[in-house]
Structure 1
Amino acid sequence: MQARVLRFGMLEHINQPVWVFDVELQRVHWANPAALEVWRAKSLQELCERDMGVDMSESVATRLAQYHHDFVTQEAVFNEQWTLYPAGVPVSLHMRLSGVRLTDGRMGMLCHGKPSGNETPESLRSVEALLHTPVMITLYSMAGEPLYRNPAARSSAKFGGQTLAERMVEPLGYTRLMAALQSDSLATFTLAVQTSQGEQWHELSARRCKDAVTGEDAMLVSEADVSALKRTEARANFLALHDGLTGLPNRAHVMECFAAAVETVRQVGCEAALIFIDLDNFKDVNDTLGHAAGDALLVEVARRLKNATSSTDLVARLGGDEFLILAAADDIVQEVERLRARVLSHVGEPTVLLGTEVRVTPTMGVSIFPRDGTDLETLLRKADLAMYSGKQRGRNDLAYYHEDLGAAVSARTALETDLRHAFERNEFEVHYQPMVSTECGRVQAVEALVRWRHPLHGLLAPDRFIAVCESTGMILDLGKLVFEAAVQQQTAWQRQGHTLKVHINLSPRQFDCPLVVSSMQSVLLAHGCDASNIGVEITESMLLGRDGLSSRVLQGISDLGISIALDDFGTGYSNLAYLQRYHIDVLKIDKSFIQSSDEERPIADLIVAMCRTLGMAVVAEGVESQAQLDWVKHRGIEQYQGYLFSKPLPANAIDALLAA
C-alpha cells in the first residue's frame, strides 16, 4: 500500500476524483480521497476489495475491454460522460480516461472525473442508452472516416479505423448510400457489411448531421443486425423454390426461371427441350415397402438424374414421381437422344431398399421450344402427352410430342366432359351376361356389365370409357352405381322366385379405396340383399405388390358373405401362389384359352386340375361355338358364359330368359 501512496501521492491532493482501475481484475487499484467520497468507500482498502464486476453490465464490460485494448496498442485518451452507481445512487461525471502501467507492469486505466454541470435528465439518459444499446452507432465524416463509435459499433468493426466504404461488402452498397444522402438527409438500406464476426447483413440508417467538435458536415449511421432474418428469408425462399425431399428445384422454380432461360436460348439462337419424366412401377414400391422406402428411392433417382445431365441442364421435381429436365443445345434432338441413353441407363439401375432389390424405369415425354410452344404451360402439357404415349407404347422409353397427340387429348377431354354429364343425366345402364350350367343348361348366375347410352353415339361398351373413368377417379362413382343397381336387381329377381347370383366387377381404384367393404355392406343392408347371392370379380393384376392390403380387403369382402372370383386368370402373371394365398372361390378361365387351338389348351387343363385340387369352382369365358362348349364340358367345367348362349342383356331381357 505504501508503494501505491508514493506512486500516486501527488494525485491525493486533487479535489476532483481520480482513481486507477484494473480492467483485467475489474477492481479499483488506487483512489484519491475525492474518489473514495464518490464511491462512498470508508477506506481505500475497502474500495480496492470491492469486486466491480459483480454488478457490471455486459455493455460496460465490453467498453472497458475496448479501452484496455487501445491503451495497450496505442496511447489513446478518451473523454466521455459516465454515470456511476455507488450504493445504487447515480453519480454523473465527465471522465478523462487514459492508460497507466500498474506496479506489476500490466496496463490499467487512469480515471479522472469532473462533476457534470446542469445536464438535463434527457441528456444523461441518452448517454446511458448510447452505451448500452445493441444498435451500432457510428459518427463518420463525409469522407467516411470514423469519428466516434459506441460500444456496439466498436465491437462490430473489423478493425479500429474501418471506414464506411471498407464497411461495405459490395462497393455498390456504399455508392447507393452516399447517393441517397446527397438527395435526402436520411437513407435506409439493408446491406452486407464486413464485421469482426465476418460478413453479416445489417439494416443501415444514415442521417446527415454536424460534428459537435468541429462543426463540419458528418454522417450518423446506426446499424441493426438482421442476419438471422436474412438467413430465415433465404431458407424460406429456398424451400419455396425447391423440393423439400430431394432438394431439386420445384415447379415454382421452373416457372420463375423459365422466362430467363428462354431469353438466353433466343439470344444464342439455339433450341430447348422439356423432358417430362414419370417413373414406371413406382406405386408398387410404395405399396410393398412403404412410403419411407419410396421417399428414399425418389432421393436416389434425383441424384442419378443430376449425374446423367450436364451442369447447364435444369433438373426439377414436379411432384410425386414426376421429374423434369430443361436442356438447351444447337442440335436439340441430338442432345435429347444423348440424355435418353444416359437417363435410361442411370435411373434403370437396380436399387436396394430395406434389403430388397427394386428397379424402376423412366418413361419420358419431350416437347421442343419453340417448335411445340413458347410458354411453359403449353410445353409442359405437350411433354406430358408425349410421356403418356410412351407409357402406352410399353414404358421405359422416350417419346416426342406430335400433333396427333393433341387431337387425342382433345378427344379425351371431350369424353371426360361427356362422362360427367352422363352421371348427371343417369345415362349408364347395367346389362347382364348369363353364366350357364354346362350340365343342365340353366342360367345360374349373371355378370353385371355397365353400358353407356350416349345421346349421340348410342349404346357404348365399357372399353370406350372405363379407362378414362379409372384415370380420372370417376370409376369410384361408377362402381358404386353398378354395385347398387346389381344388388337391387338381384333382390327383385329373388322376389320373383329366381335365385340368381350376380357377379360384379371391382376396379383397381375401388379395390384400393379404404371404404370399399363398408360401402358394400351399406348397400346390401339398404336393399335387404342376401350377400351369398352376390359375387365380386377381380383381376390378378390387382393383387400385385399389395399382399397386406389384398388380404385385408378380400377377407373383409368374404366376411360379408360375398364370394370372390378371379377373372382373366392366365393372361397376366399367372401366379399360382395367389390361388392358395388368398380366399378365392371361383376361377374364370380367360376366353383366350377357350378360343385357342388344341395345342395351346394344355395350360387350361392344368388350371382346371389345380382348381379341382383347391376346391374352387371354374367358369369358362368367351364360349362362342359348340366345339368350344364341348371342350368345356369334356373338362368338367361347371359353368360357361359367352355369345354362344347370350350376349349381355338388359334386365328385362333376362326376365324373359328366366321365364322361358
Structure 2
Amino acid sequence: MSVSAPTPAARLPADRQPSAAALAERATRYAALEWLSRPVWVFDIDGRCVHWANTLALGVWQACTLAELCGRDMGSDMSETVAQRLAQYQSDFVLRRDASFNEQWTLFPGGVPVSLNVRFSGHRLPDGRMSMLCEAEPVGAVAPESLRSVEALLHTAVMITLYAQNGEALYRNPAARAAVLSPGERLQERIANPAAFAALSRSLQQQGVATLTLAVRTPQGERWHELSARRCNDAVTGQEAVLVSEADISAIKHTEERANYQSLHDGLTGLPNRAHFTQRFARAVEDARAQSMEAALLLIDLDQFKDVNDTLGHAAGDELLVATAQRLRQARHGTEVLARWGGDEFLVLITSPRIREDLDALHERISVALAAPLAVAGTQLRVTSSIGVALYPQDGETIEILLRNADLAMYAAKERGRNTMVYYDGGLAETVRSRTELEKELRLALEREEFEVYYQPRVDVATNTIRAVEALVRWNHPRLGLVSPAQFIPACESMGLIGVLGLRVLSQAARQQVAWAAQGWDLVVSVNLSPRQFTSAGLLHDITGVLRQAGVNPARMELEITESILLGEDQHVLGVLRELSALGLTIALDDFGTGYSNLAYLQRFPIHTLKIDKTFIQDTDANRSLADLIVSLSTLMKLTAVAEGVETQEQLDWVAGRGIAQYQGYLYARPMPVQAFTEWLRCHPPSA
C-alpha cells in the first residue's frame, strides 16, 4: 500500500509538534527496540503521524532526526484507501490484542518509492489510544508487475478474500475487510442463505468456479454483491483454498428493481398496471381452478370524471385518481388483486368459493369508501363509480374475454344511472352493438338535420300555469325512430360533437322563442349548456352570434349548467358566467344536489334559478332532508327554486308544502315537439 511523504514534508501544526522532553521520554520507553536489525516505528493512527522510530526507520523515511520525522503530517495527502486500511487495523487491534498483519507497503519518502514487507501489530500509547507497531523488511528484487499487482490489490474497490477450506478468512484486502461485520466472519456466514451456500459449494466441487448474485450484510446495511469464487491453493501453506472476489452491484440492482417495478406498476397511483395484472390473473385463476373456486373481474369506472378534468384541470384529475386508488386499497380484504387499467378505470380480481356473496360485500365496501367527501384542488367532491362484473369461468376463461364482458357490463351500469354494479349477461353485447351503430350514424344525423327540439313546460306551483319552457333535444332516427338523449348525448360528448349540437339546439330554441313571443306567448326558454361547451374558448362569441341571428331578447333565454361546471378555477368560471349574464341571459343550476359542489359556492356566482334534482323529489319523506335545505337556501339567496321530475300528486303536494316556486314533470306534461307544444299553449296559455 502506498504512503507518500511530500518533499518538503508537510509539518504538523506547532501545537502538535512533539517537545524535546516528549521525544526523550519516547526514546527511553522504546530503547530496547532501537537495536533491532530492521526498521521499526510506532504509528499514531489517530494523529496521522509517527510516534517513534529507530535509527534504521529514520533512514527508510529519509529523516535526519526523530524530531523531524515525528513532526511530519502523514495525513495531509493520505489516500482514502490508506486511511480506511489503518482504521481497519485499529479496530482489529482493539478487538484482538494478539492481532497482527503482514502486508507489502510502498512508501514514498522524498518522492522515491521504497517497497517493504511490513508486520503490523497493536500498541497502546501512554494515553490509552491504540496505535500500530510497524516492523519492516526490504522486499528485495521484485518485478515491477508484481509490485503493481500488490498496489492494485490493496487499492481496488473489488473485495478480495482468500478462504481456507473450513471457511476461515486467510486474507482480506482493504475493500473486503470494510465489507464484513466482524474480522472473523467465515465464508458460510458471509453467505447466510443455506441454499445459496450449497449451490456455491456444489459448483466449486464440480466445476472449480462459481458465480452468484446475492444480498449480503455489511456495516453499511444490506448490499447486493456479485460474488465470484474459484478453487486454488494457499501460497503460504500450499493447502486448498477458495479465492473469492465480490463487486458491489447494489446501484445496478436497485436500478433494475426500479425499472422492473416501473414496468409493472402505474406511475401515478403505484397500483399494479396492465402487465402486472395480467401476470397475477394467470396465477390467480390457476389457483382458483385447482381449488374449485370461482373468480370475478370487476371493471370500475369513475362517474363524471371527465367533468373534473374539464373544469378543474388534469392535475386535479390526477389528484382524484390517487385518492381513489388509496380508497380502493382500503376497501380490499387483502386477497383481491387491484390494478389501474388506464384513464379513470380500475380492475379488481377476486376469487372465492361463494363469489356472488363476496362480490356484493366488496361492492358495498367500495361504495362506502368512495362516498365520503373528498377535497381536490380546494373543492369538495363526491365520487361514485359504475362497476361491470364478469364471472370466471362462465363469462370467459381468458382475461381478454372477461375484460370485454366486464366492459359491456360497466357501460350498462352507466346507462342505468351510474353509481351501481351490473353483472354481465349475453344480452349486453347486442346493446353495445346497437350503441356502436348509433355512434357511427351521429355525424350523418347532424348532416341530415335529424335532431329536433322538444319542449317541456315549467309550471307555477301556486297557479298551475306555465312560467317557462325547457328545450330538450331528441333524435328522430329514420329507421329506429325517436332515440333517447341518454343514448346519444354521451356519444356526442365522447366524439366531440356536443358543441355543434348544443349550438343548434340553442339556435332553434331562440328562434322559437321569437315566434312564440310574436303570437303573444313571451316565454322564457331554457337551454342546457354542457361542461364541454362551457370550456370552449369560443363560447361567448358563438352564443352572441346565435342570439343576434335569431333576434331574440337575451332576457327571455336561460342557460342551464350542471354543478360540475362550478368545479373550475373560480376566477375563470366566475368571469364566463358574468359575461353571459352581461349579455342579458339568466343562469339556472340543473340537477342540483347530485354533483360535486357545496352550498357555499352558490353565493359566488350569478345564479338565478336552482333546479332540484328529481331524485330528491321522488324519494321518501325520510330522505328529503337535503331538499329542505336546498329550498331554504333558495329562499335565503332569493333564487327561484324549481322541482324536477314531479310525476305524482303526492310529490306535487310535498313540493307545494315546501314553498317551492315552480315544478316540471310528467304530472303536468311530457316534452313535446314544437307543433304539439304550440297547440298546448293555445289551451294552456302562460301566466302574464
Q: Call closer, same or farther: CA 1:77–1:52 in 2, change over 3 Å.
A: same
Q: Call closer, same or farther: CA 1:69–1:244 in 2, change over 3 Å.
A: same
Shift of 1:95: 1.5
Matches of 1:99 and 1:384, distance apart in 2: 76
Q: Call closer, same or farther: CA 1:239–1:159 in 2, change over 3 Å.
A: same
Counterpart residue number, 1:161: 184
- Are 1:589 and 1:620, in contact at CA under 8 Å, matched by a contact in 2? no
Q: How does 1:221-620 map to 2 (within 5 A)?
A: 221-280=244-303, 298-351=321-374, 358-419=381-442, 457=479, 463=485, 466-467=488-489, 469-476=491-498, 479=501, 508=530, 510-517=532-539, 520=542, 538-541=559-562, 545-546=566-567, 548=570, 551-553=574-576, 572=613
- Are 2:117 and 2:137, in contact at CA under 8 Å, matched by a contact in 1? yes
Q: Call closer, same or farther: CA 1:567–1:144 in 2, change over 3 Å.
A: closer
Matches of 2:91 and 2:364, distance apart in 1: 66
Letter in 2 for 1:66: Q
Q: Call closer, same or farther: CA 1:565–1:21 in 2, change over 3 Å.
A: closer
Q: Call closer, same or farther: CA 1:434–1:367 in 2, change over 3 Å.
A: closer
Matches of 1:27 and 1:350, distance apart in 2: 70
- Match of 2:110, SS state, is helix
Counterpart residue number, 2:109: 86
Shift of 1:373: 1.2
Whether 1:66 and 2:88 are equivalent positions in the alignment is yes
Q: Deviations over 1:108-156 (max 9, x none)?
A: 3222222232323332222222222222111223554322110110111
Counterpart residue number, 1:441: none
- Are 2:590 and 2:613, in contact at CA under 8 Å, matched by a contact in 1? no
- Are 2:49 and 2:71, in contact at CA under 8 Å, matched by a contact in 1? yes
Which deviates further from its counterpart, 304-313 or 122-131?
304-313
Q: Call closer, same or farther: CA 1:626–1:88 in 2, change over 3 Å.
A: closer
Q: Call closer, same or farther: CA 1:505–1:328 in 2, change over 3 Å.
A: same
Letter in 2 for 1:377: E
Shift of 1:389: 2.3
Q: Deviations over 1:369-422 (max 9, x none)?
A: 111112223223322322332333343333211111122112223333454687
Counterpart residue number, 1:137: 160
Q: CA RMSD in A?
A: 5.2
Matches of 2:312 and 2:197, distance apart in 1: 58
Which deviates further from its counterpart, 194-203 or 244-253?
244-253
Q: How does 1:201-216 map to 2 (within 5 A)?
A: 201-216=224-239
Counterpart residue number, 1:48: 70
Letter in 1 for 2:530: P
Letter in 2 for 1:127: V
Counterpart residue number, 1:629: 681
Whether 1:148 and 2:182 are equivalent positions in the alignment is no
Q: Call closer, same or farther: CA 1:630–1:71 in 2, change over 3 Å.
A: closer
- Match of 1:191, SS state, is strand
**TM-score normalised by the chain length of structure 1:** 0.73
Shift of 1:235: 3.8
Q: Call closer, same or farther: CA 1:204–1:417 in 2, change over 3 Å.
A: farther
Q: Call closer, same or farther: CA 1:192–1:421 in 2, change over 3 Å.
A: farther
Counterpart residue number, 2:668: none
- Match of 1:177, SS state, is helix
Shift of 1:345: 3.4
Unaligned runs of 5+ in 1: 436-446, 491-502, 610-618, 637-660
- Match of 1:4, SS state, is helix
Matches of 2:38 and 2:551, distance apart in 1: 108
Q: Call closer, same or farther: CA 1:530–1:413 in 2, change over 3 Å.
A: closer
Q: Deviations over 1:128-187 (max 9, x none)?
A: 222222221112235543221101101111222222221124222223334444555554
Letter in 2 for 1:268: Q
Shift of 1:510: 4.0
Letter in 1 for 2:112: V
Matches of 2:33 and 2:590, distance apart in 1: 111
Q: Deviations over 1:5-33 (max 9, x none)?
A: 34443543455422222223322122122
Q: Deviations over 1:359-378 (max 9, x none)?
A: 43344322211111122232
Matches of 2:315 and 2:410, distance apart in 1: 26
Letter in 2 for 1:69: S
Q: Deviations over 1:437-496 (max 9, x none)?
A: xxxxxxxxxx99796876xx388767596335325324257549959999xx99xxxxxx
Matches of 2:505 and 2:662, distance apart in 1: 29
- Are 1:186 and 1:206, in contact at CA under 8 Å, matched by a contact in 2? yes
Q: Deviations over 1:246-285 (max 9, x none)?
A: 4443444322211111111111111112233334455666
**TM-score normalised by the chain length of structure 2:** 0.71
Whether 1:37 and 2:76 are equivalent positions in the alignment is no
- Match of 1:88, SS state, is coil
**Larger RCO, structures 1/2 (Cα 8 Å, 6+ apart):** 2
Letter in 1 for 2:134: C
* Number of residues of Structure 1 aligned to a counterpart in Structure 2: 601
Counterpart residue number, 1:612: none
Q: Call closer, same or farther: CA 1:341–1:607 in 2, change over 3 Å.
A: closer
